[in-house]
Amino acid sequence: MHLLYLHGFRSSPASFKARRLAAWFQAHRPEVHWWCPQLPPSPAQAWALISQGIADWPRDQTVVVGSSLGGFYATTVAEATGCRALLLNPAIDPARDLAAHIGEQTQFHTPEASFFFRPGYIDELRALAVPAITRPERYAAVIAQGDEVLSWREMTGRYPGARIRLLPGSDHALSDFEDHLPFVLGFLLEQAPPCD
């Protein structure tokens, strides 16, 4: 199995959810190929990095996990490759939402590291958007009604027919991620449905 984890905007491979999943697989399934790259702020560059990194991965053994903006990217990966995707409070329309964040940004886990989010990145996000998901059985999502950043209604509406764990509370970061690990691992470790 090959597992790709895509972090969110201003996040990194040091995110709690990424580290928790990496630690679980290292302890229990060390044979799983794990990759959680630091994504560049440019969506086009992020997509190039992801595409090159998974180019030779077996599609029927590949699963992508994406949190927030990483969930947007994960959806694009799943639609481009046919692999399965697990989404954690996924961004639905980052071109719209991140337009308010153009300019200097800091990283959550390394505040001393900053980057510039350029106006041109909005068009790069639009270019990566997929109109709708296909094969909803290949998708699962953990979505918090208590998300203070994204609309849970918009998130659930984007993934009709997917396996959704809708939380009555929680938050955007899924601070209670540990509680949802059985659902997450259950999806990640099950057999992929047959390819077309």
Residue-wise pLDDT for 94-124, tens only, equals 999 988 888 777 776 677 777 777 889 999 9
- Cβ contacts of 24 within 8 Å, gap of 6 or more: 181, 185
For the chain, give the mean pLDDT. 92
Tell me: pLDDT of 196 over 50.
Answer: no
Pick from 27, 2, 25, 22: which is nearest to 12 by CA?
22
> Which residue range(s) make up the domain with 85?
2-189
pLDDT exceeds cutoff 60 at 195? no
Residue 132: partners with Cβ closer than 8 Å, 6 or more residues away: none
Query: How many domains does the chain divide into?
Result: 1
Q: Is residue 195 part of a domain?
A: no
- Residue 169 resides in a domain: yes
- The CATH number given to whatever domain includes residue 151 is 3.40.50.1820
- pTM for the model stands at 0.93
